[in-house]
């Protein structure tokens, strides 16, 4: 498992939790794609490419819509007081992101666990938090930490664990061309960092087969 010691801790605000709020400039994007096609030696006027700049601009606006997401707004009304203090796990959350080094996709699964501290979040909100951070230009390590720190801070949870498993097109299609390599990153906060048994329980639960599978 590729792990990275990340310097954070304390009450420091996570970088980039809120989107910039600046809307995507589709016209600029579109003309840049036309330039790109020309630079690649293509003819932007030919049949198949006529609407490509428009399509690419819209696709990138969609794939980076996380910048427009406000986490507080997203969680509004979705935090519930509760006495439950056992681990909550949401695993196998699909995500698609863009690596900020090559603007190529990386995609895979996110597994999230947390130990509630008198409040829980509606389960459907966790994949939406994942999307809010995945649909930006990202690196896998930062995506992992942003999800973990957001849950830790917003829920005031006793602990949070996040594991991200991903395939990167920039590794698969170019460079080392390792098609089956999966990069794994994790972020363990609070009890998940301090208590080995909590961390082990989390890792064991996310390794278990899916619901309905014979274990
Ligand atoms: Zn890359």
Are 165 and 203 in contact by the 8 Å Cβ rule? The answer is: no
> Is the same domain home to 48 and 122?
no
Question: Model-level pTM?
Answer: 0.86
**Rounded to the nearest whole angstrom, what is the distance from the C-alpha of residue 29 to the centroid of ligand 1?**
20
pLDDT of residue 85: 85
**pLDDT digits over 145-182, tens only?**
999 999 999 999 999 999 999 999 999 888 777 778 89
What is the domain extent for residue 34?
Answer: 26-63
pLDDT of residue 82: 87
The residue ranges of the chain whose pLDDT is under 70 are 1-21, 210-215
pLDDT of residue 12: 46
Q: Is residue 134 part of a domain?
A: yes
pLDDT of residue 20: 61
Q: Is residue 188 part of a domain?
A: yes
One of 30, 140, 149, 158 is an active-site residue; which one?
140
Q: Is residue 19 part of a domain?
A: no
**pLDDT digits over 115-136, tens only?**
999 999 999 999 999 999 999 9
pLDDT of residue 135: 97
**Rounded to the nearest whole angstrom, what is the distance from the C-alpha of residue 172 to the centroid of ligand 1?**
10
One of 54, 65, 68, 102 is an active-site residue; which one?
102
> Is the same domain home to 109 and 163?
yes
> Is the same domain home to 193 and 161?
yes
pLDDT of residue 197: 96
Catalytic residue status for 102? yes
* Boundary of a domain, candidates 36, 63, 90: 63
pLDDT of residue 19: 56
Catalytic residue status for 168? yes
How many structural domains are present in the chain? 2
> Is the same domain home to 81 and 149?
yes
> Is the same domain home to 35 and 137?
no
Widest CA span of the chain, in angstroms? 63
Give the position of tokens 């390792």: 178
CATH number of the domain encompassing residue 158: 3.30.1130.10
pLDDT of residue 22: 76
Catalytic residue status for 111? no
Q: Is residue 35 part of a domain?
A: yes
CATH number of the domain encompassing residue 58: 1.10.286.10
């Amino acid at each position: 498992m590729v792990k990275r010691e990340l310097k954070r801790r304390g009450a420091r605000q996570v970088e980039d939790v809120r989107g910039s709020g600046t809307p995507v400039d589709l016209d600029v994007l579109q003309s840049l794609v036309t330039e790109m096609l020309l630079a690649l030696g293509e003819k932007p006027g030919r049949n198949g490419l006529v609407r490509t700049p428009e399509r690419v601009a819209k696709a990138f606006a969609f794939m980076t819509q996380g910048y427009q997401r406000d986490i507080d707004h997203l969680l509004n009304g979705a935090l519930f007081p509760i006495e439950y203090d056992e681990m909550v796990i949401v695993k196998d959350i699909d995500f698609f992101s863009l690596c900020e080094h090559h603007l190529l996709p990386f995609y895979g699964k996110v597994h999230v666990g947390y130990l509630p501290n008198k409040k829980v979040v509606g389960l459907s909100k966790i994949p939406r938090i994942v999307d809010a951070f995945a649909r930006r230009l990202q690196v896998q390590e930062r995506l992992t930490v942003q999800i973990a720190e957001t849950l830790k801070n917003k829920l005031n949870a006793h602990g949070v664990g996040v594991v991200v498993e991903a395939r990167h097109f920039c590794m698969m299609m170019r460079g080392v061309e390792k098609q089956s390599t999966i990069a794994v990153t994790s972020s363990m906060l609070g009890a998940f960092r301090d208590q080995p048994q909590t961390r082990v329980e989390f890792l064991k639960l996310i390794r278990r087969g899916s619901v309905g599978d014979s274990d």
